[in-house]
Amino acid sequence: MSDELERVGTAEREAAAAVLADAAAEGYLDTDEFAERSAAAYAARTRADLDRALAELPPAWLRARARTRRHERYAAAARLGMRLHLAAYLAGSALMIGIWLAVGIAAGAWYPWPIWPILGWGLGVAGHIVPVGRAVRRLATR
């Protein structure tokens, strides 16, 4: 089966409509052409139908748009990883402090041992957050 005859789903139709909306916002399509192409994109059944709706858009603009979307996805994934790392750190720190309090109350041993793993782990978390934050800011300026 040829790629042109491959059926498309709702997600692909909506992605094509989003490309058309961005093209109209950038001035590549006028209002009437945007309406026609959007209707064609939503009515598309095959890949060829979608390709016709997206025809004649500047390839350089499409590549730049795809690159921007990819950078946005990478930045979102990096921020999520950073948040998960920070959440694990805070939960682990709270658990260690809870154990320290329980041992201190039960046995009277009040040496503040949690400070050492909390500091060590905190350096690792900072070593993750700082470069990710810089990279995300750098991607945002592109």
In whole angstroms, how large is the CA radius of gyration of the chain?
Answer: 26
* 58-73 pLDDT, tens digit each: 999 999 999 989 988 9
Kindly state the tokens that stand for 19: 């490309």
Cα 39 to Cα 7, 20, 34, 129, distances in angstroms = 17, 11, 8, 44
Kindly state the tokens that stand for 71: 């950078």
The answer to whether 26 and 34 are in contact (CB under 8 A) is no
Kindly state the tokens that stand for 138: 């750098």
* 75-112 pLDDT, tens digit each: 899 999 999 999 999 999 999 999 999 999 999 989 99
31: buried, middle or exposed (CB in 10 Å: 19+, 13-18, 0-12)?
Answer: exposed
* The pTM of the whole model exceeds 0.85: no
The C-alpha atoms of residue 133 and residue 73 are separated, in whole angstroms, by: 15
The pLDDT of residue 1: 41
